[in-house]
Amino acid sequence: MSVRQHFPPGEPVSVGTLLAEVTAIPDDGPLTFGDERLRDFLGAVSRRLLKPSVMRRHPELGALGFFLRPSELSRVLEGAAEHSDDRLRFPRGLVFHIPPANVDTVFVYSWALSALAGNANVVRLSTRGGGASSVILQVLHNALDQADPAVAQTQRLVGYERSDATTEALSAACDLRVVWGGDASVTAIRRHRLRPPARDLTFPDRSSLAAISVNGWHAAGPDRRRAAVDGFVNDAYWFDQAACSSPRTLFWVGEPTAAADARRQFEDLLAEAVTARGFSVDAAMAVEKHVAAYGMAATGDASAIRFRGNTIATLDLTEPARLPRRWLGAGTFACAVIDDLDDLIPLITRKDQTLSTFGFPPATLRDFAAGAGARGIDRVVPFGSALSFAAIWDGYDLLREFSRVMTISPGGSL
């Protein structure tokens, strides 16, 4: 069993050698929670990702660079820190990450937070990574030149063809296994046993929704409407709408006649924004969208279908409860009108992750969150923020998940 070493770059090594190297204590001391060596390295990565030349080619890497800024990492650490005289936080140990293939940047967020917590990490990279993955790897290589040697020793990004034996060996050695992907992928990985003290942190199939207040839309000025649509385009079209937090169903909340007028305005602006941003859908994707859309009509889930070229498809749901939770193709949106945002609560399931919103008062959103939280939904965000990764994701406080707490009871002291 051997793996290819993508970071730091090197010759293929056996799994046994990899594990021995990555878990050895660095010469200048073991990693700690909030380790400065890792913070300095992640800061150097951030500066390189935020260069205009990088962000112009891959705008999603600008969001990643912003997340990795030293000030942002300090804020995240302060939120999770529990150091006191009787409570100390430590790394978990070795973390094995299996990120998804459909979102190039997810592996960095997952790995970076685990490294920030002081863990040694092995990340299996997909062979289907896109252009952004190559840029990220080059940035990591460049930042390594001035990094502490502990970074290269304890942090490894590797690749290997599908191999149960390799996954089994890495799973058996880790203290925490982080699995991103569909339900089938999570189930398949769970066949590989962990040591009794170890555990899984899984991110299976999720779906996301969007809601627009009809009153809020009509009250907004032209600039605010256009900004909302631009944000919606980012949420939906980056990663071909395949990210778990990209909205697939859009609810118009308000009186039906006013909703129809607002929807026409919204879809006109959406078409303009998609064209201006240069998003396109190839012929194969267009065929897939047609098949999915007409399939919903055939099953009685959709009462009307409209296409604007290959980039935008909208479906009128026969009733809100028939909202699709599967991916229908990039730029496909199921739509429904409801009277009140709370009408959405009975439709929410545990599979629902993010609700993107526009035009609602904060109190309305808080009331909705309080009512929906027991059923599902982990995030309520404004348009344009659906893909903004945060240290709390899918309801997990990741920095706390990537660490452990030691408590000290002083009862025996003098």
Q: How far does Cα 321 stand from its chain's mean position?
A: 26
Helix, strand, coil proportions of the chain in percent (round to 5)? 45, 25, 30
pLDDT of residue 105: 84
- Bridge partner list, 357: 211, 382
Q: Which of 336, 316, 332, 365 is nearest to 252 (CA)?
A: 336
Number of H helices, E strands in the chain: 16, 18
- Would you state the structure tokens that stand for residue 266, as one six-digit string? 């919204």
Q: Is the pTM of this model over 0.85?
A: yes
pLDDT of residue 238: 86
For the chain, what is the radius of gyration of the CA atoms? 23
Place of tokens 């009462």: 303
pLDDT of residue 181: 83
359-394: pLDDT as tens digits: 999 999 999 999 999 999 999 999 999 999 999 999
Q: What are the backbone angles phi and psi of residue 220, rounded to the nearest 5°?
A: -80, 150
Who contacts 326 (Cβ-Cβ below 8 Å, separation ≥6)? 207
CB atoms < 10 A from the CB of 298, how many? 9
pLDDT of residue 255: 98
pLDDT of residue 25: 97
Which residue numbers in the chain have pLDDT < 70? 81-85, 102, 129-130, 411-414
Instruction: Please answer whether residues 64 and 109 qualify as being in contact, where contact means their C-beta atoms are separated by less than 8 angstroms.
Output: yes
pLDDT of residue 414: 53
**Residues, the chain, total?**
414
pLDDT of residue 83: 54
